[in-house]
Amino acid sequence: MALRDYVVKRTITAIITVFTSLTMIFIIFRLIPGDPASILAKDPRLDLETIESIKRLLGLDRPLHEQYIIFITGVFRGEFGISFFYRLSVWSILLERLANTIRLIGLGAVFSIIIGISLGAIAGWKWGTRYDKVICAFSVLSYSMPSFWFGMIMIYLFAVLLPIFPTGGIGRVMFEADLWTKITVEFRHLALPLIAYSINFMGQYVLLMRNSLVNVITEDYILTAKAKGLRGNEVLRKHAFKNAALPTVTQISINLSNVIIGSVSVETVFAWPGIGRLIYESVLWRDYPLLQGAFTIFTIVVILANYIADILYVVIDPRVRY
């Protein structure tokens, strides 16, 4: 099969996956007990007639198949409707929160990938030495810690006992300030959630890169490169690193599916005003349009990232056949 045919096949598969995921998103949120009207029904000041009018206003009185058609057609038009709770366009709410989430998740991903792969390469190349043992111990510890638990521990240590960092929120300077002040405020608010979010992923990448490199350095072509007189750094950089990094590339794309879990827990613990925290609040409010919009964005991003990873995997490693 030619590369072009493989790309076409993966594109069709990705489109089918997106459509199936959107259907599951719609069904799952309709299976959640309660709806915005039932939550409002707990208010003794509202009578039954008022609650029914609210249902009609929100479109909850329509049959499920009509709600599904409205949802799907809205997604293809780039419209997610109006938030039940905020009474604003879902897009406007998501765009406002998306910048904060991208800042946290983007920096966390870059931080965990660079540090994780670098430490994993050092541990694998110096296999069996003291460096390897220390790095492996750190990675196992970081991999086994849930991000929300680690976040709460850091808040207690560095925001309560030692008031170095704020307990949460986002850094915003409300007055005219110089660039250094803005950077300092931003860093103080971002440091703890960034570490809490990336520590678990970092441990995964360290262990995966280390174990992969240990297997690669025993291959014949690595021994041949060493026998030719190449220095250790050249062997690692030119021959071993690329092949050892392939499983890590796959894991990075897979981990994007954990973005929702990580962002929800970390943003909730640190009161970070991003999409993750918005999802948590929307579940409590049964805000279907907001939940559907947030999960649709996450779903498309994850599927697109896995699609790109599949293509890159074939390009990076010619041994992979498609």
CA-to-CA separations, 257 to 95, 133, 226, 301, in angstroms, rounded: 20, 30, 39, 9
Is 60 in contact with 35 (CB distance < 8 Å)?
A: yes
Q: Residue 134's pLDDT is what?
A: 92
Two tokens, residue 273: 């005003």
What does the alpha-carbon distance between residue 187 and residue 236 come to, in Å, rounded to a whole number? 34
- Helix (H) / strand (E) element for 148: namely helix 147-155
Q: What angle do CA 266, 269, 275 make, to 5 degrees?
A: 55
Other residues' Cβ atoms within 10 Å of the Cβ of residue 3: 11
What does the alpha-carbon distance between residue 42 and residue 98 come to, in Å, rounded to a whole number? 32
CA 275 to chain centre: 11
What does the alpha-carbon distance between residue 244 and residue 121 come to, in Å, rounded to a whole number? 9
Rounded to two decimals, the pTM is 0.75
pLDDT values of the chain reduced to their tens digit, one per residue, 322 residues: 567 777 888 889 989 998 898 899 888 877 777 666 666 666 556 667 766 776 776 677 788 888 888 888 888 888 888 887 787 888 889 888 888 888 888 888 889 999 999 999 889 888 888 999 999 999 999 888 888 889 999 999 998 998 888 888 886 655 566 777 777 878 888 889 999 988 888 999 999 999 988 888 877 777 777 777 777 677 777 777 877 887 887 788 777 767 666 788 888 899 888 888 888 888 887 787 888 888 888 888 888 878 887 777 777 666 665 5
What does the alpha-carbon distance between residue 102 and residue 309 come to, in Å, rounded to a whole number? 20
Is 279 in contact with 295 (CB distance < 8 Å)?
A: yes
What does the alpha-carbon distance between residue 313 and residue 250 come to, in Å, rounded to a whole number? 8
Class (C level, CATH) for 3-32+80-316: mainly alpha
CA-to-CA separations, 49 to 35, 41, 52, 286, in angstroms, rounded: 16, 11, 5, 20
Domain-by-domain residue ranges, the chain? 3-32+80-316
Q: Residue 152's pLDDT is what?
A: 92
Which residues, at least 6 apart from 153, have a Cβ–Cβ distance to it below 8 Å?
none
CA 130 to chain centre: 33
